[in-house]
């Protein structure tokens, strides 16, 4: 039987319907559907974060290297794209589009063989992974609000929680802003006890001196890690941060190539790696990053903040990682439209069970995909797009940063 040929690579934007609340950074998702001449379909996903339309158009560029090629030659397609994509190593648009197509090709190949993607990556060494909850602290500003919601997440079974306690501080950190952050973390620690891991999210927004001050002040609460403490363009300062702050440093969602991860480890800038499978080269580069981490004994905690196909793909990597650490999860705090896209995995008492079915081990609800098709852009509101809603200002309060939402045009749902 001749090998299946890639017939089409289609980027599909889906978005929150009118009236349903989503944080701006998670209000759109780019799915990629790869179809072969045999009619088989594989799925991938690319991140957005104020890059929805550029990433979607980059998928069309990547598609030109895959269209009409045998599915079994997808690796050669990726390497050919490397040659032509002059800015790939610094272009989130290029690597995200490439990642989505690579994930879809692996999904197709594994389905063709009737095995999970993990089998193509060397075979699973675990069937469950511990998750940490993120996104749980929406509408939290006061310490007692953080504490109440943290306790609820622990009641659901989570034993690790990530949150950003820094409010609207950016670049610098006043004494008052630092005191407020300390009060929030102290309240969460008191509410959940010492058996729960606290993970402190900085969102890569501080100058080095402010980051160090915050790190030293929060060390007393024994966080498991501090994520992206300094502005990414000042990453060399992480060496000084690691010398002066006891808590380990985690990062990786903005690193795009295996060489980036090797460089950060070699320069002593990071303790825990957080690749994002949807912007760091899918499974093909994912294997290389995992090998780098294994060679250096670096823990890996995949970044996973967007949609369900990202989660499904990430779980297949988790299954084979020699140095797996923790898995990020927003699922418990997702809006309904995002839950409707996929069936096949869940979070139960703070753990994911890794799907063992063919491919990514999930089924995509194509009717839901069509229902939520969109041409919209992420909203620009009172808070930056990377903020959990309601943590910079009360929802509905006047905000000087607010701007009109970009005009959007939603495609009508397709009847089936």
Residue-wise pLDDT for 321-341, tens only, equals 999 999 999 999 998 999 999
Q: Out of 53, 203, 222, 349, pick the active-site residue.
A: 203
Structure confidence at residue 115 (pLDDT): 98
Q: How confident is the model at residue 397 (pLDDT cuts 50, 70, 90)?
A: low
Task: Write out pLDDT tens, residues 134-170.
Answer: 999 999 999 999 999 999 999 999 999 999 999 999 9
Letter string b/e over residues 19-29, b meaning 16 or more CB atoms within 10 A of that residue's CB: eeebbbbbbbb
Structure confidence at residue 413 (pLDDT): 40
| First and final C-alpha spacing in the chain | 32
Structure confidence at residue 56 (pLDDT): 96
Structure confidence at residue 385 (pLDDT): 83
Structure confidence at residue 396 (pLDDT): 65
| Across 37-59, average pLDDT | 95
Judge whether residue 409 has pLDDT over 60.
no
In a domain, 324, yes or no: yes
* CA neighbor of 216 nearest in space, from 207, 228, 226, 205: 226
In a domain, 381, yes or no: no
Question: What pTM value is reported for the model?
Answer: 0.94
**Counted domains in the chain:** 1
| Across 161-184, average pLDDT | 98
Structure confidence at residue 27 (pLDDT): 86
Structure confidence at residue 256 (pLDDT): 98
Using DSSP, state whether 141 is helix, strand or coil.
coil
Judge whether residue 190 has pLDDT over 50.
yes
Task: Please work out, in degrees rounded to the nearest 5, the angle formed at the alpha carbon of residue 187 by the alpha carbons of 193 and 137.
Answer: 100
Q: What is the mean pLDDT of the chain?
A: 93
In a domain, 309, yes or no: yes
Share of the chain above pLDDT 90, in %: 86
Distance of alpha carbon 294 from alpha carbon 87, whole angstroms: 28
Q: How confident is the model at residue 415 (pLDDT cuts 50, 70, 90)?
A: very low
Q: How confident is the model at residue 407 (pLDDT cuts 50, 70, 90)?
A: very low
In a domain, 231, yes or no: yes
In a domain, 283, yes or no: yes
Share of the chain above pLDDT 70, in %: 93
Return the higher-pLDDT residue of 407 and 324. 324
Judge whether residue 416 has pLDDT over 50.
no
**Side-chain-facing half-sphere of 27: CA atoms under 13 Å:** 26
Distance of alpha carbon 56 from alpha carbon 46, whole angstroms: 8
Give yes or no: 222 in active site. no
Task: Write out pLDDT tens, residues 338-386.
Answer: 999 999 999 999 999 999 999 999 999 999 999 999 998 887 777 888 8
Give the CATH number, domain containing residue 343. Answer: 3.20.20.120
Task: Write out pLDDT tens, residues 259-308.
Answer: 999 999 999 999 999 999 999 999 999 999 999 999 999 999 999 999 99
| Across 113-125, average pLDDT | 98
Judge whether residue 400 has pLDDT over 70.
no
Q: Out of 53, 222, 303, 349, pick the active-site residue.
A: 303
In a domain, 96, yes or no: no
Give yes or no: 106 in active site. no
Structure confidence at residue 24 (pLDDT): 63
In a domain, 12, yes or no: no
Return the higher-pLDDT residue of 412 and 415. 412
**Which residue range forms the structural domain that includes residue 261?**
119-359
In a domain, 233, yes or no: yes
> Residue 134's CB: how many other CB atoms inside 10 A?
25
Q: Cα dist. 400→171, 258, 308, 397 in Å?
A: 18, 40, 34, 10
């Amino acid at each position: 039987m001749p090998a299946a040929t890639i017939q089409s690579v289609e980027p599909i934007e889906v978005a929150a319907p009118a009236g349903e609340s989503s944080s701006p950074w998670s209000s759109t998702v780019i799915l990629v559907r790869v179809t072969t001449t045999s009619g088989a379909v594989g799925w991938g996903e690319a991140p957005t974060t104020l890059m929805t339309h550029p990433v979607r158009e980059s998928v069309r560029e990547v598609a030109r290297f895959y269209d009409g090629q045998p599915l079994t030659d997808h690796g050669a397609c990726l390497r050919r794209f490397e040659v032509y994509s002059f800015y790939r190593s610094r272009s989130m648009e290029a690597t995200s589009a490439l990642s989505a197509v690579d994930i879809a090709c692996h999904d197709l190949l594994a389905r063709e063989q009737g095995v999970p993607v993990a089998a193509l990556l060397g075979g699973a060494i675990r069937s469950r992974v511990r998750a940490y909850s993120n996104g749980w602290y929406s509408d939290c500003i006061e310490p007692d609000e953080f504490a109440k919601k943290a306790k609820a997440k622990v009641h659901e079974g989570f034993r690790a929680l990530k949150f950003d306690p820094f409010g609207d501080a950016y670049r610098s950190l006043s004494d008052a802003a630092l005191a407020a952050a300390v009060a929030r973390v102290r309240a969460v620690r008191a509410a959940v006890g010492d058996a729960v891991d606290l993970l402190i999210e900085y969102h890569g927004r501080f100058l080095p001196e402010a980051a160090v001050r915050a790190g030293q002040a929060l060390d007393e609460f024994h966080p498991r890690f501090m994520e992206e403490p300094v502005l990414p363009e000042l990453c060399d300062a992480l060496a000084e941060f690691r010398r002066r702050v006891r808590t380990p440093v985690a990062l990786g969602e903005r690193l795009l190539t295996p060489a980036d991860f090797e460089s950060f480890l070699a320069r002593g800038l990071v303790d825990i790696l957080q690749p994002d499978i949807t912007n760091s080269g899918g499974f093909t580069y994912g294997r290389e990053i995992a090998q780098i981490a294994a060679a250096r004994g670096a823990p890996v905690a995949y970044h996973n903040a967007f949609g369900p196909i990202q989660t499904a793909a990430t779980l297949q990597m988790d299954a084979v990682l020699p140095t797996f650490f923790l898995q990020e999860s927003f699922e418990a705090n997702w809006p309904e439209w995002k839950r409707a896209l996929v069936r096949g995995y869940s979070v139960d008492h703070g753990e994911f069970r890794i799907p063992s079915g063919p491919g990514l081990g999930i089924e995509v609800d194509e009717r839901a995909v069509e229902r939520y098709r969109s041409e919209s852009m992420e909203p620009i509101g009172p808070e930056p797009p990377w903020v959990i809603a309601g943590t910079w200002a009360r929802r509905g309060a006047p905000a000087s940063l607010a701007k009109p939402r970009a005009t959007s045009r939603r495609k009508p749902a397709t009847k089936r």
